[in-house]
Structure 1
Amino acid sequence: MLTPTAEIVAAARAAGGGVGAFNVITVEHAEAIVTGAEEAGLPVILQISENAVRFHQGRLAPIAAAARAVADSSRAAVALHLDHVESDELFDQAAAHGFGSVMYDASASSYADNVAATAAAVRRGRRRGLWVESELGAIGGKDGAHAPGARTDPGEAAAYVAATGVDALAVAVGSSHAMRTRTARLDHELIGRLRAAVPVPLVLHGSSGVPDDELVAAVRHGMVKINIGTALNSAFTGAVRASLDGDAALVDPRRYLAPARAAMAGTVAAALRLLAGTTTPAHR
């Protein structure tokens, strides 16, 4: 059932656990994520990024409607989150399409400009009942706060949260977007200091490249919302490739999308259990 992001994140934080937020590109992604959540018996967050909206020819409504319908029909608690939004026009569409939250991304701007733009977005979001996440990033660099080597300063983070009024903060602690190998090592001492300095939930972006034991430690030290995208795409594409390689005459997309969707669902279920602390990490 469709559930506010704020409610899911608050419950995970109160329990000392983490919650997975998974990127949706196609309707199969949404179906797989929700199937994985039902299999694990845990809440989940469906994320649609501005990049994904661009892939859908700039139209938010169709993919949002599909994700919302999947959420509404689920036995699991499912939130809708609009991710890495730089466009004010897109931000202002979120609530009307069922999103409970938005990640407003001004991280490529200077600190002052980031604060001003994010504070304005938070004010607009409040009027629409939105929970707003943002990130405090390095100036320039397409990865923002998650450029290689970037780290978030706890004092600056605390000042930023106070100045903007955001409900959650994505921080740079050693992860990076779009990693296809699980080799990232996180600064857990910094995560602890950020948790102590910042009154809102912490968010880890780029979690696909983080090994299981590192994710467990990150949650233990204070991370709450854990964003995962590339790992789903790797599972999806691997299954599609195996199906097509195994049958050169295969043309019906259902024949290769079904195993791809199942592979993604398994990835989601395993990640949710790990973050909730119901399974032990694999050291890899």
Structure 2
Amino acid sequence: MTLAPTADLIARAAQAGVGIGAFNVIHLETAEGIVSAAERADLPVILQVSQNCVTYHGGLDPIGRACLELAAESSAAVAVHLDHAEDAVLARRAVDLGFGSVMFDASRLDYDENVAATAAVAAYAHERGVAVEAELGEIGGKDGAHAPGVRTDPDEAAAFVAATGVDALAVAVGSSHAMTSREASLDLALIARVHATLSVPLVLHGSSGVPDDTIAAAIAAGMTKVNVSTHLNGFFTRAVREYLDSHPDVVDSRKYVAVGRTALSGEAERMLRLFAQAGSAQTGSAEAGAAQAGGAA
């Protein structure tokens, strides 16, 4: 395999009615753990570098180039994606660096400004063969932005996609960023309605707070790209903490970071398999969601 175009991986998953994991990179060890998980599972994966990650590393190029090299050398199909970029300059830099897709997040702006800014980034990316994801409807959680009950309107979403030309859309259906407990409840009927209305794949942000069975049902209802960060980070951190508690005299950081990488990788592999099996396993849920959507329309 080699570095894969994000749009191709998402399109294949959408056509098959399954989900694809999009896992956030924090540092090189998380990227390595995610890629090795994809190799063991023999499944594709999307490495996500967020604007927050770029800030932490002091720039896009070092961590971005590392992810691109890992993808190019992997035996799995690995795409590299810029996540939650609110800076259009950063989004264009990721395009120029060779990322397969960028998520441009102008959702803090009012609707018309969001459309204009997103359309401009999409035009730049598409001229260079790069896909664009955007967000409509507040996802919640970060920076005090949580707003209970906020949901994406299917008709507004269709108009937004048509006006901006984006290739995938993150929708607000009940999840919230940075949750450390898995108890979020998703609006499966709304997912089915939005899926039926739009021609582009749907993206679930804030998936760390969503239980396995609910994620599977969401995929069956029409969700394709499933973003996970906090949940995997928890596996990494707990493993490091346990190792340090058991080895108080260790000073070589490779010893405990490697343990964290292994723990994260094991859970990433499990989630990739879950997402890839969800569509076929949850056909009944998808039909139920569509029926509910029809009644609510």
> Normalized against structure 1, the TM-score is what?
0.94
Q: Which has the higher helix share?
A: 2
Q: 1:92 aligns to what SS in structure 2?
A: helix
- The separation in 2 between residues aligned to 1:224 and 1:32, in whole angstroms, is 22
1:129 aligns with 2:129: yes
Distance 1:144 1:77, change over 3 A: farther
- The separation in 2 between residues aligned to 1:199 and 1:135, in whole angstroms, is 15
Residue 75 of structure 1 deviates from its aligned partner by 0.7
Q: Deviations over 1:96-126 (max 9, x none)?
A: 3220100000001111111111111111111
Residue 141 of structure 1 deviates from its aligned partner by 8.2
Aligned to 1:168: 168
Residue 25 of structure 1 deviates from its aligned partner by 1.2
Residue 169 of structure 1 deviates from its aligned partner by 0.3
Residue 137 of structure 1 deviates from its aligned partner by 2.8
- The separation in 2 between residues aligned to 1:18 and 1:229, in whole angstroms, is 16
Could you tell me whether the CA contact under 8 Å between 1:138 and 1:144 is conserved in 2? no
1:13 aligns with 2:9: no
Distance 1:121 1:144, change over 3 A: farther
Could you tell me whether the CA contact under 8 Å between 2:19 and 2:219 is conserved in 1? yes
Aligned to 2:294: none
> Normalized against structure 2, the TM-score is what?
0.90
Task: Please list every run of 5 or more consecutive structure 1 residues that lacks an aligned counterpart in the other structure.
Answer: none
1:153 aligns with 2:161: no
Aligned to 1:276: 276
- The separation in 1 between residues aligned to 2:229 and 2:185, in whole angstroms, is 18
Could you tell me whether the CA contact under 8 Å between 1:6 and 1:100 is conserved in 2? yes
Aligned to 2:266: 266
Aligned to 2:84: 84
Q: Pairwise mapping of residues 1-284 of structure 1 onto structure 2 (< 5 A)?
A: 1-57=2-58, 59-138=59-138, 142=142, 147-277=147-277
Residue 49 of structure 1 deviates from its aligned partner by 0.4
Alignment RMSD (CA, Å): 1.9
Could you tell me whether the CA contact under 8 Å between 2:140 and 2:146 is conserved in 1? no
The code of the aligned residue for 1:115 comes to V
- The separation in 2 between residues aligned to 1:233 and 1:189, in whole angstroms, is 30
Deviates more, 1:208-217 or 1:64-73: 64-73
Q: Deviations over 1:143-182 (max 9, x none)?
A: 6996432110111111111111110000000100000100
